[in-house]
Amino acid sequence: MANYSVAEAKNNLPQLLDRMLAGEEVVITRRGMPIGQLKPTTSVQRGVVLDPAWLDANRVGTPNDGDPVRGMRDSYRY
């Protein structure tokens, strides 16, 4: 477990978050006393898996055979 002062944490937050996501607990201190802790949650979903078959089965029709830009442009009234 690594300890960082508030100033160090402020200046190095992206690196501390990377360490936290790697599984390390990070403690934030003020005047040497712990005031907070960064640790990964158990509910974080790492990455999203897309299922092409599900996407095809649940596709919503778009105007003009899949060209939504053309459909919006053609339906616009000048």
CATH of the domain at 21: 3.40.1620.10
What is the per-residue pLDDT for 54?
Answer: 80
Residue 77 counted as domain residue: no
**What is the C-alpha end-to-end distance of the chain, expressed in Å?**
63
d(CA 26, CA 23): 9
> Around 29, how many Cα atoms within 13 Å sit in the side-chain half-sphere?
9
Residue 20 counted as domain residue: yes
d(CA 72, CA 21): 42
The label of the residue with tokens 């778009």 reads 62
Q: Using the Cα atoms of residue 10, residue 12, residue 18 and residue 21 in order, give the sign of their dihedral.
A: negative
Residue 64 counted as domain residue: no
Q: Convert the pLDDT of each residue in 1-52 to its tens digit.
A: 789 999 999 999 999 989 888 888 899 999 999 999 988 876 656 666 777 8
